[in-house]
């Protein structure tokens, strides 16, 4: 998996989400019916994501009430668990490695706004969750962040900067609290 981040700024009138209006409209309907609901058929969810351009590995579990903004901006590895009420706000690319857990209510947020301009121009940045990462319940990963191999973002924490490999982070902003030991 290619592991890169990019940060872009757009005048609000010039952002291109990567698909035309018809495809986006169709996705919003599919997302509402099959993802942002109590629908449990994981295989069908994976199939639908692939139809809309996502790259999805094997053994991917997508729990109910998950919101995915644009599947064509999503790469998911093998053995990934996406918990209830997760929001993947992927205005740009989100890459999720193998053996990753994104717990209930977590938010992967690829966009923000430039508060120093009256136009509040959109700022986007990719997110990369490398192999073995665990994003805790109600946590937020912001734009232009790489959560390196086997890092942990604990419950209700905010990652606005990269997390080092095998680090356990907590708080807002997330601070390294100790090393993760994997047996």
DSSP of 107-170, one letter per residue? EEE-EEE-TTSTT--EEEE-EEE-TT-EE-TT-EE-TTEEE-TT-EE-TT-EE-SPBPTTEEEE
| Tokens representing residue 55 in the block | 């790259």
Q: What is the pTM of this model?
A: 0.91
Q: In what order do the strands lie in the sheet with 122-125?
A: 7-10, 122-125, 111-113
| Tokens representing residue 87 in the block | 């929001």
Rounded CA separation 45/140 (Å): 23
| Tokens representing residue 93 in the block | 């690319």
pLDDT band, residue 93 (cuts 50/70/90): very high
- Comparing 112 with 78, the larger pLDDT belongs to 78
CATH number of 7-179: 2.160.10.10
Give per-residue pLDDT as tens, 125-141: 999 999 999 999 999 99
Mean pLDDT, residues 136-160 taken together? 98
pLDDT of residue 39: 84
């Amino acid at each position: 998996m290619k592991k890169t981040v990019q940060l872009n700024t757009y005048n609000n009138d010039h952002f291109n989400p990567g698909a035309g209006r018809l495809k986006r409209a169709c996705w919003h309907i599919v997302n509402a019916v099959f993802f942002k609901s109590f629908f449990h058929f994981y295989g069908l969810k994976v199939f639908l994501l692939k139809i809309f351009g996502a790259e999805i590995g094997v053994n991917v579990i997508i729990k109910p009430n998950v919101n995915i903004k644009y599947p064509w901006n999503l790469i998911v590895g093998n053995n990934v668990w996406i918990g209830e009420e997760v929001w993947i706000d992927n205005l740009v690319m989100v890459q999720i490695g193998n053996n990753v857990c994104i717990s209930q209510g977590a938010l992967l947020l690829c966009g923000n706004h430039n508060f120093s301009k009256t136009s509040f121009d959109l700022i986007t940045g990719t997110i990369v969750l490398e192999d073995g990462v665990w994003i805790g319940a109600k946590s937020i990963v912001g734009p232009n962040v790489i959560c390196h191999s086997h890092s942990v973002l604990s419950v209700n924490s905010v990652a606005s900067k990269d997390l080092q490999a095998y680090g356990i982070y907590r708080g807002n902003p997330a601070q390294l609290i100790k090393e993760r030991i994997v047996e």
